[in-house]
Structure 1
Amino acid sequence: MTASPLRHLRLLAWLAALWIAWELLHYEQYKLTGNPGSVHLFTVLTDWLGFHGHEKVMRIGVGIMEMVAAVLVLIPRTQGLGGLLAMGVMSGAIFFHVVSPLGIDPYGDGGVLFREACVTWAAGLLVAVLRRDQLLALFHRVTGRGVAVPA
């Protein structure tokens, strides 16, 4: 007896969700404790954006959004929403690594943060696509409009 393709897709969604949660929560220890590397990174960003002296607000705000995404992606009914939120947060990280003075490799480690942001973004996309039925149902509930589900 072989497993159904649907079962494989569910497993794939959960593996991607576990990656997202682990990755996002792992870095909270640096953001939320004021690790010097994290403080430096967010200081570069806030100074570049013209928000001098607001590093902590941005660092903690991003940390909170990451924690929310990590929790949502682990709850079966909200997994799709968590995937979208993870994509949103990682889109910001990728954007700032590419266009700001941070650069792709701010720590001189070969761009580990940038690569992990890209993988986490892709995992969020995978979860959102595999859980699109949840997202379409949420859209319907929020807007009161029906949405045709693509085959």
Structure 2
Amino acid sequence: MLSHIKRYAPIGISLFAAVVFLDSLRFKFTDHPNTQEIFGRLDGWAGTLGAPGLFGHTGLFSQYVIGSAELLASTLLLVGLLPRFVRLNALGALIGFAVMSGAVSFHLFTPLGIDPNNDGGGLFAAALTIWFSAIALLMIRRAELIGLVRDLARAFVPTPTPAAAPRRAPAHA
């Protein structure tokens, strides 16, 4: 029984998170009024902190940037279900965790609040659910994530080579 859970839980979590991310894109990429309200409220808040436009249409954290990150996360989550690309699943979970950490934080610590759409907090509940799902997937895929970090370290951090022993001058007879 436990072996079945270990085998199929990552698949279920990945599919669930990817579907939620992909479903949200129709709101972000079509400039839906609810999305305008949320990002507009966040942009107004950022403006009071001296960063107007941060969440605007061309801002660093615009709905299009966040939507693109969610699209990337869902793509990696799905492609990572193929046995050869399991590390991409871990990377997708990491990106999903980062995006949802921002979402949960903005719901809790900004004027956005937990019920910005007057839907009983459904959007916040979805963010929390995906956030916890990403944490679970990161714990399941921790070995793959560590392997990915090690591979990146080998690619970007040069390994010191041992210094060559000094050559001795040939002895002359």
5+ residue gaps, structure 1: 146-151
1:62 aligns with 2:72: no
5+ residue gaps, structure 2: 158-173
Q: After superposition, what is the alpha-carbon deviation per residue over 1:27-58, rounded to whole angstroms, capped at 9, x for unaligned?
A: 10010001111011101111211243452131
1:80 aligns with 2:81: no
Aligned residue-pair number? 142
Shift of 1:6: 3.6
- Percentage of matched positions with identical amino acids: 31
62-71 or 122-131, larger mean C-alpha shift:
122-131
Bigger proportion of residues as helix? 1
- RMSD across aligned positions (CA): 1.5
Question: Equivalents in 1 of 2:79, 2:140: separation in Å?
Answer: 14
By relative contact order (CA 8 Å, sep 6+), the higher-ranking structure is: 1
Q: After superposition, what is the alpha-carbon deviation per residue over 1:91-127, rounded to whole angstroms, capped at 9, x for unaligned?
A: 0000000111110111111100101000001111111
Match of 2:127 among 100, 117, 131: 117
- The AA in structure 1 aligned to 2:152 is V
In the superposition, the TM-score normalised over structure 2's length comes to 0.77
Larger Rg: 2
Q: After superposition, what is the alpha-carbon deviation per residue over 1:57-84, rounded to whole angstroms, capped at 9, x for unaligned?
A: 3110000000000111112221111111
Match of 1:91 among 70, 81, 101: 101
